[in-house]
Amino acid sequence: MKIFKGILFVTVTVLLLAACGRQQAEPEQTDTGKTMPVENRPETTAQAPVKTSESASSDAETGRSGEGQERGTMTKEYGDPVDIWANATLNSTVLGVFYLDENESWRGMVVQERYDILKELKQVKAYPADDFTPEKMTYPLVGLSMGSLDNTGSRYLYTNGYMLTQDGKAYRFSYDFTTLFDRVGERNPLAERGNVADLPCGFLLAKDSSGAWIRERLPVGTPLPAAEGVTLRISKYEEDLLTLYLKNSGKESWIWGYPYTVETFLDGGWYRIPVMTPSGQFFNLVGFGLEPGETKETEASLLLYKPLPAGKYRIVKTCFLQKEQQEAPEEHYMAAEFTVTPQGEIEY
């Protein structure tokens, strides 16, 4: 009887220790590579589980679906999967989400759950896809913008089963983005409706396979004519730099700065073309005066816009007129045209 009681005591003790052990959660691995205790993980809203290609393959291994065979087919057709999120991080940044279809366009941010979202995206297999061309773009388009380990930023654009990355590569990718949209906070309309080229990595869709501009994907150009009495002309082109002269032949005083845009003439109208790099273009916001009778010189680089297909182009700069008893200066524009020949030469 004493032996039985001893065995019973030991058995109960082991069961209690096992139950306590199950209540202790394993530390969570964050995208920073550091462990995060469960009690400190960011709060999230419960979401329906997202079916990713990895979870599908797990189902196949347990005999619950045939998607594992599909994954094998993808590997055979496109090669081994690639981690396209290796440089992405959401440590100190929010997740920017852009959406564009034929009827709706908006941008928003995700603050809560961003760690979980990046984990979900990392679980999805991305297969290198050399078969992608800009002609395969379909709506909707989903753009993503987030931080990166090298502090340059990470940008992605999804369309028609392909994920485009800022280095110009395309990958086969399957993810239900509607689950992501539910977590976006306030949605703000995009500045220009239908502006494919200005989405993250959208410059990859601005030209067709031959390198020609796709007019329907470019934003409409700047309204002109230029401000009265102010002119802009090109005096020299050398090593991707256009030298510009600004002249004020009127009686008003104007203000101008460094920023400029490049536009192309297509089908009877002007359209703004995007910078052909993922990082965009940045200017120092400094204002300079242009008094009556005065001429100033400045430069505009075409390096970030290359390669430019043959056609008619113009540099557009903004100038401001400040009148008395006026709260804000009037915004006007001036432009200087040039041509790119089939041989790639600049004529002006």
For the cut 70, the answer to whether the pLDDT of residue 1 exceeds it is: no
Give the pLDDT mean for 294-307.
Answer: 95
Report CA-CA distances (Å) from 232 to 227, 299, 300, 337: 10, 11, 12, 9
What number does CATH give the domain 230-347?
A: 2.60.40
For the cut 60, the answer to whether the pLDDT of residue 271 exceeds it is: yes
Q: Considering only CA atoms, which of 98, 105, 168, 174 is closest in space to residue 133?
A: 168
pLDDT of residue 299: 95
pLDDT of residue 240: 94
For the cut 90, the answer to whether the pLDDT of residue 280 exceeds it is: no
Give the pLDDT mean for 8-27.
Answer: 35
pLDDT of residue 339: 97
Q: Which stretches of the chain are DSSP H helices?
A: 2-23, 53-61, 67-78, 114-123, 178-181
C-alpha–C-alpha distance, residues 88 and 163, integer Å: 14
Task: Please write the tens of the pLDDT for every residue from 56-73.
Answer: 333 333 333 445 555 666
- Quick one: CA dihedral 194, 198, 201, 203, positive or negative? positive
pLDDT of residue 20: 36
For the cut 60, the answer to whether the pLDDT of residue 38 exceeds it is: no
For the cut 60, the answer to whether the pLDDT of residue 323 exceeds it is: yes
C-alpha–C-alpha distance, residues 232 and 314, integer Å: 10
Confidence of residue 30 (pLDDT cuts 50, 70, 90): very low
Mean pLDDT of the chain: 80
Task: Please write the tens of the pLDDT for every residue from 136-184.
Answer: 999 999 999 999 998 889 999 999 999 999 999 999 999 999 989 989 9
Give the pLDDT mean for 179-195.
Answer: 87
Task: Please write the tens of the pLDDT for every residue from 245-269.
Answer: 999 998 888 999 999 999 999 999 9
